[in-house]
Amino acid sequence: MKFAKQLLWLLCLLLISNLVFAQTTTNYNPRDDQYKLLGLKRALDAYNLAKVEYDRQKEMLEKGLISKADLERSERSYREAEVNYQQSLLAVIYEKRYISIQKAIKYQLAGGQRRVRLTLANMTSGTSDIKQLLGVDENIYSLVQPDVITDVYVSILNEQGAIISQPYEIKVEALKVGEPPTIEFNLLQDVDVASIRFIYGASQDTKRIYFQKDASSNRVAITTEQFSQEAPLGSTATYRMRMELFSSSETVFRFEVVNLLDQLSIYFQDPQTSARITQLKYTEGVNTKNISLNVLLPQRANDALKIDKPIKFYVLAIPQGSDFQIGRNTAMTEEQIRKLNVGYAQLELVPRGVGQILVQAQQLFFEITPGQSVAMNVDVVNEGSRWIDNLRIDADIPLNWTKVIEPNVVDRLDPTVEKRISFKFTPPADVGVGKYDLRVRVTGKSDNQPLESEPRTVTIQVTPKANVVGTAIIVLAIVGLVAGIVVFGIRLAKR
């Protein structure tokens, strides 16, 4: 009888255990993915039931009412419910995690390097309310650290999605609520608008922002890609510059140039309107403008302006409120300019001379008879601003003609210098009557650049030799005819 009661009691316990096990098994509800907070509540209930059942199974094992295998099954159910609950908790917490950018300030170092200073903030909220609402276990709550976002990787991207920050990524070990960290990057590409990318856990977020300008420097940063140029004499060198404002008080700046020779004329220009300007004004919301500096070179070099000698000068953007005046020919060092605390850029101009060949001739048309030659002279002049090396004088002549050129090579021809060249063209003995064109060409090099003159065309007219006997007979016949007419007229008059 006693054994039957124990058996009945054991069967009841097993039945209750199965019912509890069925309750602790989380029934998946498709809406749990949509309403994560309700899914968390369901997982918490299942976890609490599984924990109660597991504790009761341990007591029953101690009393010898169940086997160890039954306890292990209960423990597995409990651990599964615990994992499901933690997953639901993390899903709710991660869904509410949010990283914001409090500040993104772009500034310039003394050497011209652009940098960006980012201030981040963990905007995660409502996790403490979840803890109070659901009665989350303190150990589990502290384990998941819902108020901390760990291992956040930050980088800056351009419009094409390429990383333009150095270092390429910065890792923030822990981003805590109420403790905004500040990180700094070097900009590998100078931009005003960029995308900030965050990667943390299984999440990735990208925010496109406009950089604020550090107004504390109160200056205009001048950037030019073609800061060093070569330009031939008589031409114009154009420097395209980007003016970026780093000021909150001054919006009007005037331009000055120092260390530039008086022989060089300059003017600033708006590339969009082509208007000449002397000052630049920034309107609200506009921090970057483009201008051009045009430097006009004279036709000839002199003692101050020498060919191939670099000229280093500075462009300054001075606030309108500044009272100091600077002239174009003022000699200043970079250290002196830096002490003025104004925006500036160093530019370089290398004057280059260009040779120009001009061929002059007094006569380009000749008439000869077979057996004769043509002798002529031409003057080769360098009308350029640089000497010409290795001049070669040549002529294109008809078939079987011969030519003699003295000299046919000139090693060097300085600017404004003339060189006389002698030509002799001889036709073959059996040359036909007619007009023949010959072309005179002069080539050379100036600053390793090939030069060629405009060809000169010499026209030679070959006429037949005169027949003296035939001409004499014709003349005598004409004279006799005239004389006969005169005699006949006299006789006719006497009658």
Sheet holding 193-200, edge to edge: 170-176, 148-157, 193-200, 203-210
- Report the interhelical angle of 2-24 vs 68-96 (nearest 10°): 20
Exposure string (b/e) for 85-101, b if CB count within 10 Å is 16 or more? bbebbebbbbeebebee
C-alpha dist (Å) from residue 259 to 271, 329, 483: 24, 5, 94
Asked whether the bond before 298 is cis by omega within 30 degrees of 0, the reply is no
According to DSSP, the residues that pair with 351 across neighbouring strands are 231
Q: What is the pLDDT of residue 24?
A: 42
As a whole number of angstroms, the distance between CA 70 and CA 16 comes to 13
Instruction: Count Cα atoms within 13 angstroms, Cβ side, for 110.
Output: 6
User: DSSP assignment of 229-281, as one string?
Assistant: EEEETTSEEEEEEEEEEE-SS--EEEEEEES--TTSEEEEE-TTT--EESEEE
Peptide bond into 427 cis (omega under 30): no
- For the chain, 495 residues long, give each residue's pLDDT as a single digit of tens: 443 444 344 334 433 444 343 444 445 555 555 555 567 677 777 888 888 888 888 888 787 778 888 778 888 888 888 888 777 766 666 656 788 898 888 887 766 788 899 999 888 765 555 555 555 555 555 555 667 888 899 999 999 999 999 999 999 988 888 889 999 999 888 888 899 999 987 788 899 988 887 766 677 888 888 888 988 888 899 999 988 888 766 778 888 899 888 888 899 999 888 899 888 888 776 778 899 999 998 888 887 888 888 999 999 988 887 777 777 777 888 888 888 888 888 999 999 888 889 999 989 999 988 888 999 999 999 988 888 999 999 999 999 999 999 999 999 998 889 999 999 999 998 888 899 999 999 999 988 889 898 889 999 999 887 666 667 788 888 888 888 888 777 777 776
**Residue 340 phi, psi dihedral angles, 5° rounding:** -70, -15
Residues in CB range of 323: below 8 A, 6 or more apart: none
Residue 27: its pLDDT value, please?
A: 52
Rounded to 5°, angle at Cα 480 from 479 and 481: 90
In order, the DSSP letters of 315-382 are EEEEETT------TT----HHHHHHTT-EEEEEEEEEE----EEEE-S--EEEE-TT--EEEEEEEEE
Q: Both ends of the chain: CA-CA distance in Å?
A: 202
Helix, strand, or coil (residue 162): coil
Give the C-alpha separation, 376 to 295, whole Å: 44
From CA 352, how far away is CA 310, in angstroms rounded? 10
Q: How far apart are CA 115 and CA 330, in angstroms?
A: 33
Tokens for 222? 């001048």
